Amino acid sequence: MKINKYNSLVFAILFGAGLSAQTPSETQPKQWTLEECVRYALDNNITIKLSELDVKNAAIDKKGAFGNYLPSVNGSASHSWNIGLNQDLTTGLLRNQTTQYSSLGLNAGIDIYKGLQNQNNYRRAKLSIISSQYQLLKMQEDISLNVANAFLEILFNKENLKVKKEQLSIDQKRLARSEEMVNAGTIPRGDLYDLKATAATDQQAIIVAENTLLISKLSLAQLLQLKEFADFDVIDDTNAKDENNILAQTPVEIYAKAKEIRTELKLAQTNLEIAEKNVVIAKGAYQPTLSGFYSFSTRASYSDRVIGIDANGNPISAGPLPVFDQFSDNKGHNFGFQLNVPIFNGFSVRNNVEKSKVSLEKSKIDLEQKSLDLQRNVYTAFTDAKGALNAYESSTITLEARQQAYNYAKEKYDVGLMNSFDFTQAQTLLTNAQSDVIRTKYDYIFKIKILEFYFGIPIVPIITK
User: Does the residue 465 lie in any domain?
Assistant: no
Report the pLDDT value the prediction gives residue 386, as an integer from 0 to 100: 93
Same domain membership, residue 96 and residue 123: no
User: Does the residue 450 lie in any domain?
Assistant: yes
User: Would you say the C-alpha torsion 383, 386, 392, 397 has a positive or negative sign?
Assistant: negative
Report the pLDDT value the prediction gives residue 231, as an integer from 0 to 100: 80
Report the pLDDT value the prediction gives residue 238, as an integer from 0 to 100: 61
For the residues of 181-224, what is the DSSP string, one character each?
HHHTTSS-HHHHHHHHHHHHHHHHHHHHHHHHHHHHHHHHHHHT
How far apart, in whole angstroms, are the C-alpha atoms of residue 383 and residue 378?
9
Same domain membership, residue 299 and residue 275: no
User: Does the residue 461 lie in any domain?
Assistant: no
Determine contact, residues 66/129, Cβ cutoff 8 Å: no
Determine contact, residues 241/449, Cβ cutoff 8 Å: no
346: left (phi over 0), alpha (psi -120 to 50) or beta: left
Same domain membership, residue 28 and residue 99: no
Contacts of 437 (CB under 8 A, 6+ apart): 392, 395, 396, 399
Contacts of 319 (CB under 8 A, 6+ apart): 304, 305
Determine contact, residues 350/283, Cβ cutoff 8 Å: no
User: Does the residue 463 lie in any domain?
Assistant: no
User: Does the residue 462 lie in any domain?
Assistant: no
How far apart, in whole angstroms, are the C-alpha atoms of residue 78 and residue 382?
74
Same domain membership, residue 242 and residue 161: yes
Same domain membership, residue 230 and residue 152: yes
Which CATH number is 227's domain given? 1.20.1600.10
Report the pLDDT value the prediction gives residue 312, as an integer from 0 to 100: 72
Buried b (16+ CB within 10 A) or exposed e, 109-118: eebeebbebb
How far apart, in whole angstroms, are the C-alpha atoms of residue 317 and residue 150?
92
Report the pLDDT value the prediction gives residue 1, as an integer from 0 to 100: 38
Same domain membership, residue 78 and residue 26: no
Which CATH number is 324's domain given? 2.20.200.10
How far apart, in whole angstroms, are the C-alpha atoms of residue 156 and residue 149?
10
Report the pLDDT value the prediction gives residue 30, as an integer from 0 to 100: 77
Report the pLDDT value the prediction gives residue 18, as an integer from 0 to 100: 42
The tally of domains found in the chain comes to 2
Same domain membership, residue 195 and residue 87: no
Angstrom CA distances, 200 to 144, 204, 264, stand at 40, 6, 51
Same domain membership, residue 417 and residue 297: no
Q: Report the candidate in 141, 157, 155 with the shortest Cα–Cα distance to residue 38.
A: 141
Same domain membership, residue 296 and residue 151: no
Report the pLDDT value the prediction gives residue 209, as an integer from 0 to 100: 92
How far apart, in whole angstroms, are the C-alpha atoms of residue 66 and residue 54?
19
Q: Report the candidate in 335, 334, 333, 331 with the shortest Cα–Cα distance to residue 103.
A: 331
Task: Give the pairing of strands 315-318 and 305-309.
Answer: antiparallel
Same domain membership, residue 60 and residue 44: yes
User: Does the residue 359 lie in any domain?
Assistant: yes
| 341, 376, 407 - which closes a domain | 341
pLDDT tens for the 465 residues of the chain, in order: 334 433 443 344 334 444 344 444 444 567 888 888 999 999 888 889 999 999 999 999 999 999 988 999 999 999 888 887 776 555 566 777 777 888 999 999 999 998 888 999 999 999 999 999 999 999 999 999 999 899 989 988 988 898 888 888 887 877 787 777 777 666 667 767 777 888 888 899 999 999 999 999 999 988 888 877 778 888 876 665 667 788 888 999 999 999 999 999 999 999 999 999 999 999 998 999 999 999 999 988 877 666 667 667 666 666 777 888 888 888 899 999 999 999 888 888 999 999 999 999 999 999 999 999 999 999 999 999 999 999 999 999 999 999 999 999 888 877 778 877 788 788 889 988 988 998 899 899 889 988 988 888 887 766 655
Full domain range(s) for residue 215: 5-70+114-287+342-454
Helix axes 251-261, 263-284, angle to 10 degrees: 40
In 3-state terms the chain splits into helix, strand, coil percentages (rounded to 5) of: 65, 15, 20
Q: Strand ranges (DSSP E) for 189-331?
A: 233-234, 289-301, 305-309, 315-318
How far apart, in whole angstroms, are the C-alpha atoms of residue 380 and residue 371?
14
Same domain membership, residue 86 and residue 201: no
pTM metric for this prediction = 0.77
Bridge partners, 316 (sequence order): 308
Same domain membership, residue 99 and residue 51: no
Residue type, position 71, single letter: P
